[in-house]
Structure formats: C-alpha cells, structure tokens
Structure 1
C-alpha cells in the first residue's frame, strides 16, 4: 500500500493552467456574489420610488435579505463539506440565478423582499465555497495571493453594481440590475461542470482509496506515477480512515475559543460592510443632498481601492503574520469613516478618502476570509467560512435597523458615520486577541496556522 500525501503534492505544484482555470471560474462566482450583495444598496432609493414607497421602507428588505444570507451561510455552506464544493456551487448558482430573474416580475416591495430573502439563502453560500475550493487547489506559497485575486472578483462585482446605478438606472430602471444578477450565475454552471474538478483534499478525506484522485493528479502532473494500491492522505503521519465533516468540528479539539473570536470579528466587520453598502448612498442623499447617481460615480472610482486593498492584503499575508497585518487595516478604516463624514463631497480629497475607505474595508474583510482558510483543516473549511459568514450576516441584520433609524431621526452625516466608526476599531482589537489565542492554544489546526 503506497501512501501519497495530497498536501505535499498540492504545495509542490508550480502554478499552471489548472490553477488559473479554477481561479477564473471561482473568481467569477465571487464577482456575482459581490455584484448581487451590494447592488440593492446602490439603487435602493430608485426601488423605493418605483414601488411608491419612502426610502426608509427599504429597511425591511435589507433586514430580510440579510436573514436569508444568514440562513444560507449556516445551512447551505456546510453542505459543501459533505457533498462537494463543485456540486453545491452549481446548485447554488442555478437556484440563485432563477430566483433573481424572477425578481424582475415583482409587483410590490413585499414580493421583492420575499424573493430577495430566498435568493440570499443561495447567494450566501457562493463565496465561502469558492474560497474553500481555491484554498485547497493552490500551493501554500501562493494561497493567500490566489484567494486575494478571487476576492478582487468580489470587489469588481461591487464596483460593477455601482455602474448600474450610474449609467443604466435612468434608462432601464432598477430591473436592469436583476437581469444582470440573474443571468451571470447561470453562465457559471457549465464552466464549473466542464472545467473545475472537485477538490483533491475534499475527496481524499472523504475516501482515501478513491482511484479517481490519481487520475486527476496525473492530469495536473503528467509525469506523476500513481500506483494502483495508492492511499491518499493529508499530511505525513495522518491516518487512512475516511473523515466526514460534522457541523460541530469547528468547536471541537480545542477550536471553540478561536471560533468564537473569529465569529465576533466577522460579525462586526460585516455589520460595517452591510451598513455602508446598503445605506451610504441614501445617507449622502438624505443627509447631504447628494443625488444617488452623482454619488455612484464617485463610489465607482472609490471601489478601485477595494481591488487594491484585496490584492495588498493577499500579498502581505503570504509574507507576514496575518494577525499583525489585519488590525492595521481596521485602525485605518476607523479614521477613514471620520474622514468621509467631515470632508465636503465637492472637495477633491473626498474621492481620495473614498478610495482609502474601500481599500481598508475590503482589504480587512479579505484578510479575515483568508485567515479562516489558513487555520481550519480542509474537511471543515467550507463550514468554517460559511458559519463565520453567517455570524457576520447577523450583524447585517442589525445594520439596516440603524440605517433606517438614522434616516428617520434625521441624523447628521457626521453623527451617523461617527457612531459607525467604532465598529472597525473593535474588530482590530479582536484580531489582536485572536493572534494570542492561536499562538497559545492547543487546537488541531491546518499546517498554515503556524504562520498566522
């Protein structure tokens, strides 16, 4: 019986065609996720107007969409650890795309809210499953950079949804965003089926004697010889017994405290993201008199910072300790919140501050996502990403209440954003605590955890 270490095989691979294909397809899934996640916030006043409702009426839709996202993160993402990343990605794309297209026919804001809630269940699973796939395909020396590149797709989707608000809204109405958001995930299904094989690490933990693993390895490395009696393991000294993922895995074997700290950080970080993605255009329109189309143009430029922030955090995390780099991003975000609230929209420096804001916010969240892939073993990676995202969606449920309250109470822009600035400051403290927990704990973690 010949033991073949899948971890070593993946880490020894040179980046090639196989890795780039997986990156492109999973990056497209992330693009779709980013587009649909943020598009509602950018066109919220137009949707409300289209249904004859005031802007604050959108708070109910935002809340229920976040509830759908939380349900999906907790319920659908873990299924990828049982049935495979590729299979669940295809299913999620199919259902999410179909429901989003059906949203075009909504006749009331209540109908649209119901459809967005259902779509959110499947949209929430796309990002964690795509990141789990990329993290298990890519060699360790480029893993953080590849995850960062896939998250550039997420940021690009965010930016593209701003393009809808800036250029398509007046011509084709709010429905144009839903046509784009519905068709794109359906196009991903054949790409996943024909070009992306299932994760080797997932297959090895499910069945160490799976002969199809050897066939996939030979496609990646034609010179490789795989004996007929090969048994595939993850790491030297690991057993050959199949290990099925359980939902409780992220809390067992000494991982409870680490998981709780990660959840708290994700909850606060995604509260911040949900608040600004859903309410920032409305805040500027209602509190500063800036039309959403005019704000969308500046925001579109600002989102270029998201791409830069995501790429930089990936580069840094391949070279430095994540728990030292990520807090710097959130400390900077605290200052950027204050900057965009006090500097005049007409001032030239405002766009610079908006770029910095997106650079720090998106880079920080990308760092948290990448950190999760580095500390949890493969068999529970999709569950860990999904449940951390689910914890974050809880914050997303709370954020719309604050946004609606701030608008209804006629807060000033400085007060609304000044109060929100405390959230990233708390995230920075939590990540510093997380570094200590990982360093002093005795949990069974992924091999990369020693470098975070």
Structure 2
C-alpha cells in the first residue's frame, strides 16, 4: 500500500489485533477552521437575528399588531423545527464540511427570498413570510454542525492548547450568537432608514454566499467522519464483519443502527430527554430576551425603537464575553456545573431588569446585559458538552436533534408569551415565561451526564 499522506486516514482492512490512530490537523489548519467556524455561525445568526430585530419595522410594513407579529414568529418556529429536526441525520450522512455549506448556503437563500416578499397581500403575505423564514432553521442548525466539527477537529489537532482547553477556544466560536445579533442591531441602526428592512436582508445574503465558497476551498472533513462514512459503506454492502474489524482498529464502538435510533438507546436516552427539555424551556428565555429583545425593551420598558437598537449593540457586545467566560469556566470546574450556575444567575438578572426598581437607561443596560451574559454564555459550554455526550456515529444527529428542540421551545414559549402579553402585558410575559423558563432549564441540566462510550473513544484519538 502506498504511504498515506499526512491528513489521510487509513481505511484499508486491518490486520488482526492492529491498532490505529486518527491523523492530525496542524496548528495552522486548526486556526483556519476555527476562524471559518466563527464566521459561519456569526453570519447564520445575523440572518436569524434580523427577524427579531426588524420585527417592529416589519409590523408597520405588513400592518401587524404586536400580538400578530408574536404569533407569526411562533409559526415560523414551527416550520424551523421541521427543517432542523431533519438536518441531523443528513449531516451524519453528508459530512460536517458539506453540512456547513448547506446551512450557510441556506441562510443566503432565505435572506434573499425574505427581501422580495410583497406586503400588500394580507394573509398571503404573512403565509409567505412563515414558509420562507421556516427555512431559517438551516442557519440556526449551523451551531450544531460547528459543535460537531470543532469537537472532532480539537480531538486530533497538533495544537496542544486547543486539545487541553477545547471549551475555552470553542467559546470564541459560539460567541458568534451575540456577534450576529450585534451586527443585526448595528446595521439596522445605521441602514434601516436608508435602505429599509428589505435592503438589510439583501445585505445579509452577501457574506453568506462568499463564505460558502471559502468553506468549499478551505474546510477539510474530519477523519472521524471519514471513518464513520466508510463503516456505513461497508454495512450497506453487506460487509458487517469488515466494518466491525475496522472500527475495532480505531477503538470505535460501531453500530449498524440508524443515528436517530442510537440517541434513544438505553445508555443515551436519559441525556436526550434531559437536554431536550432543558433546551425547550431555556428557549423561552432566548425567544424573549434575545430574539424579541427590541420588542421587550420597547413594550416592557418604554424604550424608543432607535434607542433599543443601540442598547442591544452594547448588551450583545457584553454578552459575547459571556461565552469566553463560560468556556473558560467549563474547562476549570466542568461544563455541566457551569451551565447550571449560569442559567440560574441569568434568571435573577432578568427578573431584576423587569422589576419597577430598574427604570433608567444605565440600569436597564446593566441588568439586561447581565441576564444575557449568563443566558447565552453557557451555550459555549453546552454545545461542546453535548458533542461530548454522543459517540461519533450519532454525534451530529444527537447535537442537531437537541438543538432543534429550540424550535418547540420558541413555539411553546411564543404561544405562552403571546397569551400572557395579551392578558397582562409584555413585562409580565417576559418575567414568567422568559425568566421562569431560564430558571427551570438550569435545574433540568442536573440530569445530564457523559456516557462511558464517548470517554473510550476520546482516550484513543
């Protein structure tokens, strides 16, 4: 057999008792992959965040009442859930690289289509918005692709810093969430009166389209997925014995079961349930304070829309460092306690922000920023923690499936938020639905744990 190139994985039939290791990525490659992953998530969130940021402006264009726009946002989440739920198994079959191209490319298309939806067709216009924006679930699912891809890259990198402190370095990538929202708020503040909300969606298509080309040219598939793909090929051709022999050579526990079935096997079922419930109720808070941030400030704290935009720029900038902090803390004390502590503190900050004690601009910014710091920051830990809780064979499916639970969270939370806001106002809805959901999600994380199967895999890379 010809000598293998440095970044190839040996997928030839192994000798009895042979032991192999995955090829490594260089420090330079790892740095490039990290930067591209950050850009991919930031751009995906930019489009995702535009909907919430521009919702008040779209209300005027389409003639919606606030409660109508909340309801439309909820129906969009229903469609996004359908898209996101189907994406995990696809990524486990297509690969991490192709998955990243699919999610970022989908974001570009969704942004462009949103910009051309006519406003004068009544319910038909609203229906078009719901259908098109439902495919925003592609962009939101980009974080699951990132978590899966970067987890596998950092396992085999030559960069010792990233191998030893993966949570800290991944935190800079996951911080694309507040960066994306900050970008959406900043450009809305500067350009909304100039090019309108439609023009802003067109602007969002450009970086997404460029990045698809960059991913195509520079992103390499992980050796873990290459092995997983080869094992599936052997299984499909009836060579199950050869598949298990190759998996044993890499100390991988191979299963012929479908990835979606695997995450419900007895030893992984508890994690799937606990993570899913935690994401559902936590996204009551994400929907309230991140996606509908400008609406909450406008309707609950009487902040003018233009002021809400620049306030959210500051708030999201502060929140970015929440990712870095929680990524660092997760490496120090463990990702699970980091998530639990962060979300409980977040619920307290938001409850304080919504109280009558906080009235001036400075206090609103400080308490809102504190709540968002401890709300979104733990996602730097939870995304990586989830990837650590599933083996290679179903990792993307597990992470994407749980991430898709954000959409039922928005659906249920959005429905509750709309009902409560219509009855007693936006402030009360934000408190009981948003802050209350964050608190419950922190408590649900007590029931998660890493399975021994994953620890055996990682010990051999």
Do both proteins adopt the same fold according to a TM-score greater than 0.5, normalized to the shorter chain? yes
| 2:272 corresponds to 1:262 | no
| CA distance, structure 2, for counterparts of residue 99 and residue 237 of structure 1 | 41
| 2:155 corresponds to 1:160 | no
The 8 Å contact of residues 97 and 219 in structure 2, kept in 1 or not, is answered as yes
RMSD over aligned CA atoms reads 2.7
Residues 320/338 of structure 1: CA separation in 2 closer, same or farther (3 Å cut): same
- Which residue in 1 is equivalent to 2:217? 194
| CA distance, structure 1, for counterparts of residue 174 and residue 457 of structure 2 | 20
| 2:39 corresponds to 1:16 | no
Residues 243/320 of structure 1: CA separation in 2 closer, same or farther (3 Å cut): farther
| 2:358 corresponds to 1:349 | no
The 8 Å contact of residues 268 and 395 in structure 1, kept in 2 or not, is answered as yes
The 8 Å contact of residues 84 and 141 in structure 2, kept in 1 or not, is answered as yes
| CA distance, structure 1, for counterparts of residue 403 and residue 437 of structure 2 | 17
| CA distance, structure 2, for counterparts of residue 422 and residue 209 of structure 1 | 44
- Which residue in 1 is equivalent to 2:136? 120
Residues 253/399 of structure 1: CA separation in 2 closer, same or farther (3 Å cut): closer
After TM superposition, list the pairs within 5 Å mapping 1:281-296 onto structure 2. Answer: 281-296=294-309
The 8 Å contact of residues 340 and 446 in structure 2, kept in 1 or not, is answered as yes
- Which residue in 2 is equivalent to 1:445? 454
1:46-68 deviation digits (Å, cap 9, x = unpaired): 10101222222212321122122
The 8 Å contact of residues 27 and 153 in structure 1, kept in 2 or not, is answered as yes
Structure 1 unaligned segments of length 5 or more: list them. 211-230
Name the TM-score, length of structure 1 as normaliser: 0.85
Residues 262/393 of structure 1: CA separation in 2 closer, same or farther (3 Å cut): same
Residues 415/73 of structure 1: CA separation in 2 closer, same or farther (3 Å cut): closer
Residues 413/235 of structure 1: CA separation in 2 closer, same or farther (3 Å cut): farther
Name the TM-score, length of structure 2 as normaliser: 0.83
- Which residue in 2 is equivalent to 1:73? 84
The 8 Å contact of residues 310 and 363 in structure 1, kept in 2 or not, is answered as yes
After TM superposition, give the deviation of residue 404 of structure 1 in Å: 2.7
| CA distance, structure 2, for counterparts of residue 53 and residue 313 of structure 1 | 39
| CA distance, structure 2, for counterparts of residue 168 and residue 37 of structure 1 | 18
After TM superposition, give the deviation of residue 448 of structure 1 in Å: 8.5
| CA distance, structure 1, for counterparts of residue 86 and residue 183 of structure 2 | 28
After TM superposition, give the deviation of residue 237 of structure 1 in Å: 4.0
The 8 Å contact of residues 337 and 418 in structure 1, kept in 2 or not, is answered as no
Residues 409/280 of structure 1: CA separation in 2 closer, same or farther (3 Å cut): farther
- Which residue in 1 is equivalent to 2:12? none
Residues 209/293 of structure 1: CA separation in 2 closer, same or farther (3 Å cut): closer
After TM superposition, list the pairs within 5 Å mapping 1:195-210 onto structure 2. Answer: 195-207=218-230
- Which residue in 2 is equivalent to 1:432? 446
Could you say what secondary structure the match of 1:421 adopts?
A: helix
| CA distance, structure 2, for counterparts of residue 143 and residue 54 of structure 1 | 45
1:1-48 deviation digits (Å, cap 9, x = unpaired): 453222xx55xx6x6110011111111111022212222112211101
- Which residue in 1 is equivalent to 2:351? 338
**Alignment partner of 2:379 out of 353, 361, 365:** 365
| 2:145 corresponds to 1:134 | no
| 2:301 corresponds to 1:322 | no
The 8 Å contact of residues 77 and 382 in structure 1, kept in 2 or not, is answered as yes
| CA distance, structure 1, for counterparts of residue 259 and residue 379 of structure 2 | 26
- Which residue in 2 is equivalent to 1:228? none
- Which residue in 2 is equivalent to 1:44? 55
Structure 2 unaligned segments of length 5 or more: list them. 1-14, 120-124, 156-162, 234-244
Could you say what secondary structure the match of 2:19 adopts?
A: strand
1:350-403 deviation digits (Å, cap 9, x = unpaired): 222122111101112332212101111122111111100112210111222233
**Alignment partner of 2:400 out of 378, 381, 386:** 386
| CA distance, structure 2, for counterparts of residue 88 and residue 326 of structure 1 | 27
The 8 Å contact of residues 375 and 448 in structure 1, kept in 2 or not, is answered as no
| CA distance, structure 2, for counterparts of residue 127 and residue 310 of structure 1 | 14
| CA distance, structure 1, for counterparts of residue 301 and residue 370 of structure 2 | 20
Residues 316/449 of structure 1: CA separation in 2 closer, same or farther (3 Å cut): farther
| CA distance, structure 2, for counterparts of residue 106 and residue 158 of structure 1 | 23
| CA distance, structure 2, for counterparts of residue 158 and residue 106 of structure 1 | 23
**Alignment partner of 1:30 out of 30, 41, 44:** 41
Residues 126/405 of structure 1: CA separation in 2 closer, same or farther (3 Å cut): same
| Residues 282-291 or 246-255, more deviating | 282-291
After TM superposition, give the deviation of residue 95 of structure 1 in Å: 3.3
The 8 Å contact of residues 303 and 355 in structure 1, kept in 2 or not, is answered as yes
| CA distance, structure 1, for counterparts of residue 228 and residue 248 of structure 2 | 7
The 8 Å contact of residues 78 and 383 in structure 1, kept in 2 or not, is answered as yes
The 8 Å contact of residues 313 and 366 in structure 1, kept in 2 or not, is answered as yes
1:277-296 deviation digits (Å, cap 9, x = unpaired): 34332233233321121112
